[in-house]
Amino acid sequence: MTDFDTFYANVPPEQRDLLRQFRQTHPSKQAVINGTSWEYIACGQGADAILWLVGGLRVADAAYRSIPLMEDAFRIIAPTYPPLTTMNDLCDGLAGLLDAEDIPRVHILAGSFGGMVAQAFVRRHPKRVNSLVLSTTAALDAEAAERYHQQAAMIAAAPPDVVAQVSKTNFIKMIDPPETERAFWTAYVDELFTQRLGKDDLLSTITCLLDFAENHPLTPDDLKDWPGRVLIIESADDATFDAAARAHLKALYPTARIHTFEAGGHSPATTRRSEYFALVRDFMLAYQ
C-alpha cells in the first residue's frame, strides 16, 4: 500500500499537514446499522448537531478543511457512505447513526450527491431534521435516470483501473479547485480512487441516484407540515447543475432562503470557503 507521504509528495507541506492532522484528531468510528458496516466521524460540541453529508467523493474526511470551521459550535456526524443501492437504505442507515450517537434531531448540511440524500432523508425522517442546507445539488427526473442507466452499464463493464482513472479525471474537473489547492486535490483524489473507493462504491452512487430519480418523486407540498427551514446555496457558474436544474430545485422549496455565488463553481464550500461557512453558521445559529 502506498503511504501518505508518497501520495502527497508534491503538495505544499502546510496543506499536506492539515489533512494528516485532521485524520489524527478526528479518527473514524464504526457502527453496524441494519446489517451494514458504517464508518463516520463524530466530533464537535454544542447543543445542536449537524449531519454532514458529503458529495460524490463519499468519504467523510473530504470535508477536512470545513468541519473544523463548525465544530466549536455544533456536534458533527459526518458519515462515509457504504456501498448501498437505494436512498431508503442510506437514509435509514443515517438515522441509525444518529441513534447510535443519541442525537434525536439535526441540522443537515449537504452538497451535490449528499444534497439528494438529504432531500430523501428529510422526507423519510422529517422529525429528525431541524433545518436543511442544500448546496449545489438538484432533484432528478426521467432524463437523468436514463443517463444514470447508461453510466451504470459503462462502469459495470469497465476494468477497475479504467474506472479509477476516469473517476480521478472527472472529480478534479468537478471540484475545479483554486490553483493554489490543485496539487492537493489531485493527490487526494488519487489516494481516494487508488486505496479507498472502488467500482462498488461508484456503482452505489449511480444506483442511488437512479433510485432517487425513478422512485422519489418530489413536490413542493411534501414538506408542508414540516416546521423546519431550508437554505439553498447555488453558484451561477455551476457546471454540474445548469440554470434549469437550479430553478427546478428552488421551485420545490418555495419558502427557502436562496444564496447565489456568482463565481463559486460546483464546490463553493472549497472555492469560497470563508463566505460559505459564515453563511451556513449564521443560518444554523439563528435557528437556536
**pLDDT tens column, 38-92:** 999 999 999 999 999 999 999 999 999 999 999 999 999 999 999 999 999 999 9
Q: What is the pLDDT of residue 147?
A: 85
Q: What is the pLDDT of residue 288?
A: 63
Residue 166: partners with Cβ closer than 8 Å, 6 or more residues away: 158
Q: How far apart are the C-alpha atoms of 250 and 257, rounded to whole Å?
A: 9
Q: What is the pLDDT of residue 225?
A: 95
CATH number reported for the structural domain that contains residue 42 in this entry? 3.40.50.1820
Q: What is the pLDDT of residue 77?
A: 98
**Position 1 confidence tier, pLDDT thresholds 50, 70, 90:** low
- Its domain, for residue 195, covers 4-287
Question: Given a cut of 90, is residue 159 above it in pLDDT?
Answer: yes
CA-angle at 41, arms to 68 and 235, nearest 5°: 55
**Position 180 confidence tier, pLDDT thresholds 50, 70, 90:** very high
Angle between helix 142-157 and helix 199-215 axes, rounded to 10 deg: 160
Residues 226-267: tens digit of each pLDDT: 999 999 999 999 999 999 999 999 999 999 999 999 999 998
Choose among 79, 78, 77, 30: nearest CA to 49: 77
Q: How far apart are the C-alpha atoms of 148 and 232, rounded to whole Å?
A: 24
Share of the chain above pLDDT 70, in %: 99
**What is the domain count for the chain?**
1
The pTM of this model reads 0.95
Beta strand residue intervals within 92-150, DSSP E? 106-111, 129-135
Average pLDDT of the segment spanning 9-20: 96
Residues 103-150: tens digit of each pLDDT: 999 999 999 999 999 999 999 999 999 999 999 999 988 788 888 888
26 Cα distance to chain centroid: 18
Question: Given a cut of 80, is residue 287 above it in pLDDT?
Answer: no
